[in-house]
Amino acid sequence: MRFLQSHPRFLEEAYAVVVRLLPLGRRWLKPGGLVERLVIPLERVSKGAIFNCQMCGQCVLHSTGMTCPMNCPKNLRNGPCGGVRANGHCEVKPEMPCVWVQAWERSQAMPRYGHELLNVLPPVNRSLQGTAAWINESTGVGLKNPAGWVDAPEVSG
């Protein structure tokens, strides 16, 4: 399934369709409800197979070149760090390509959302760990920062 990540154009079109469909199910998609208990394993299996999803509950794949930032050993949401090796691999796990190098390369093949890679993302909200990002996105929970957090400024290139 990981080969799909090499075809981010297809994935971003699929995401665009999902974004249009999600509002139709909003009345059933409620955080903490029965539907979420069913959606969580579905999301875990499908996104796990394609993106090695870590179930952060706040999905930003379309803004990160369809590359899950939670696979970065430092969990950077606005990478890369300064430690990328000359061969494009991670300084923490030398055998692993840098998540953010991959994000950059894949975003170049994404005409619809690729530019969002330049947006500054807020820190991940750890209280959403293990919840369903699909439901959090449809209800707006995933976009809302906890009380006391300052919204990140929108920066785009």
Residues lying near ligand SF4 in the complex (CB under 6 A): 47, 51, 53-56, 58-61, 68-70, 133
User: Are 28 and 37 contacting, i.e. CB atoms less than 8 angstroms apart?
Assistant: no
Identity of the residue, 44 or 149, whose beta carbon is nearer to ligand SF4 in the bound complex = 44
Residue 129 CB neighbours (<10 A): 13
Nearest distance from C-beta of residue 55 to ligand SF4, angstroms: 6
Nearest distance from C-beta of residue 53 to ligand SF4, angstroms: 3
Identity of the residue, 61 or 135, whose beta carbon is nearer to ligand SF4 in the bound complex = 61
Identity of the residue, 18 or 87, whose beta carbon is nearer to ligand SF4 in the bound complex = 18
Identity of the residue, 11 or 86, whose beta carbon is nearer to ligand SF4 in the bound complex = 11
User: Are 19 and 132 contacting, i.e. CB atoms less than 8 angstroms apart?
Assistant: no
Nearest distance from C-beta of residue 77 to ligand SF4, angstroms: 8
* 44 vs 58: CA distance, rounded Å: 13
Q: Which residue has the tokens 């069913």?
A: 38
Identity of the residue, 52 or 109, whose beta carbon is nearer to ligand SF4 in the bound complex = 52
Name the residue among 134, 100, 102 with its Cα closest to residue 31. 134
User: Are 122 and 149 contacting, i.e. CB atoms less than 8 angstroms apart?
Assistant: yes
Nearest distance from C-beta of residue 50 to ligand SF4, angstroms: 8
Nearest distance from C-beta of residue 98 to ligand SF4, angstroms: 16
User: Are 49 and 64 contacting, i.e. CB atoms less than 8 angstroms apart?
Assistant: no
Residue 94 buriedness (CB in 10 A; 0-12 / 13-18 / 19+): exposed
